[in-house]
Amino acid sequence: MASPPSISDQGSAGSSSTTESRDDAHGVRKRSTPGLVTSIRAVGFWTAIAMPFLYLPLLATGLSSSFDGILFVCLLVGNLLALYVGHPHHQ
């Protein structure tokens, strides 16, 4: 006579179905919008390349005012975000 599944068996079975459903949802999303994902990654990639040129005028004139400092930090955060989004472009 077989014993009923233990709590650890039930938890692992539930987590695998959750993982499978996440994988299925990811696959559907990836298949339904491949052009959109590729475009967003390309824009992120090229933005990450071009953004440092915006630092040059700020750094040349100095970060003397608080507005310049805040603008520099915002550009830096935007560049990091663009690097993150554009990293998988053409890999």
User: Do 42 and 13 share a domain, yes or no?
Assistant: no
Tokens encoding 18: 């959750």
pLDDT value, residue 7: 61
When mean pLDDT is compared across 17-21, 43-47, 48-52, 72-76, the lowest value belongs to: 17-21
Q: Is the pLDDT of residue 10 over 60?
A: no
User: Do 66 and 28 share a domain, yes or no?
Assistant: no
User: Do 17 and 40 share a domain, yes or no?
Assistant: no
User: Do 58 and 77 share a domain, yes or no?
Assistant: yes
- Average pLDDT over every residue of 35-50: 90
**Domain around 71:** 34-91
User: Do 53 and 91 share a domain, yes or no?
Assistant: yes
